[in-house]
Amino acid sequence: MKDEHRIAVLDIGGTRIKAGLFFGSSLIQSAECDTPAKEGAAALLKAAGDLIEQFKPFIAVGVSTAGQVDPVNGIILYANENLPGYTGTRVADYFRERFDCSCSVMNDAYAAALGEGRYGAARGHSDYICITYGTGIGGGVFLDDHTYYGKGGSANLMIGGLITHPELRRPDDPFAGSYERCASTTALVKIASSVDPSLDNGRKIFARISEPEIMEAVDRWLDEIAVGLLSILHIYNIPCLVLGGGVMEQPAVLSGIRKRVHDSAIPGFQDAVICTAQLGNQAGLYGALGCITQQIEIDC
């Protein structure tokens, strides 16, 4: 097995750190651990480095991570309270110095989108948007085979910040009335628990989907998802939308979204492909691979 084909990857989240070793495009080893978030950035990086230490030798490290990322320099521009002290961390420099190899760093939502583009559901599409529905809503935009981050003050787009309910806006809450508040899995649980407080997660909700009141709650949530997707579709004129998150694995969800978007889209926009993500919780690892592979190709 030639060392030049071995690449280590990391997916750093607020609660877990995943690691993998790729030989070419095949994931041949994996490991994970809890994120020592409360211990600070130095402890987090050491834990991540210790995970991939077992994979040596490798020629490069690709990192998918929570937070706003400067992808050119591999620096965390902003991270919320889930990762205290992480803002300003020079992630790429740490792994370059520790392992004496190339390193690239990418925001986790964009890494998942890149993974789906190179190895998953969006293969063959040069233009696509990947949106993940979970506790919040995140995503990545790819135009003409390139990441599109925008040129404003943020390091990436805020798909979850799309305003879908202006009547709910409040000056003290920038996310009030947003797509994230109204269409995330958290929003689904809020809608369903108003019917039955015991419905505190998606599995419980879909286990009772045959009940009319529960179906009505899910339909309200699907309406919210479709409203945001229609806006995104019309603005970007994108041919492929990839929807991620565990809740998207429910058969009724994808078919319900497709019907709503198709029936309500402006003429000329109905033919967009709407599909579920294929890589699951390994999307970030594959995205980290895609990111470092691109860098190596450019450097060569």
Residues of the chain with pLDDT > 90: what percent? Answer: 86
pLDDT at residue 6 tops 60? yes
pLDDT-derived band at 300 (thresholds 50, 70, 90) equals: very low
Contacts of 16 (CB under 8 A, 6+ apart): 32, 33, 34, 35
Would 3-107+281-299 and 121-277 be classified into the same CATH topology?
yes
Give the separation between CA 39 and CA 188, rounded to whole angstroms.
33
Q: Dump pLDDT digits (tens) for 120-174.
A: 999 999 999 999 998 889 899 999 999 998 888 777 788 999 999 999 999 999 9
Provide, rounded to the nearest whole percent, the portion of the chain with pLDDT above 70.
Answer: 97
At residue 164's C-alpha, the angle toward residues 158 and 166, to 5°, is 110
Q: Does domain 121-277 have CATH number 3.30.420.40?
A: yes
Alpha helices (H) in 68-173, listed in sequence order: 91-99, 108-119
Q: Could you say which architecture CATH assigns to the domain 3-107+281-299?
A: 2-Layer Sandwich (3.30)
pTM: 0.89
Indicate the domain borders of the chain: 3-107+281-299, 121-277
Work out the number of other CB atoms within 10 angstroms of the CB of residue 63. Answer: 29
Reported as a single tens digit per residue, the pLDDT across 83-118 is: 999 999 999 999 999 999 999 999 999 999 999 999
Residue 4 — φ and ψ, nearest 5°? -65, -10
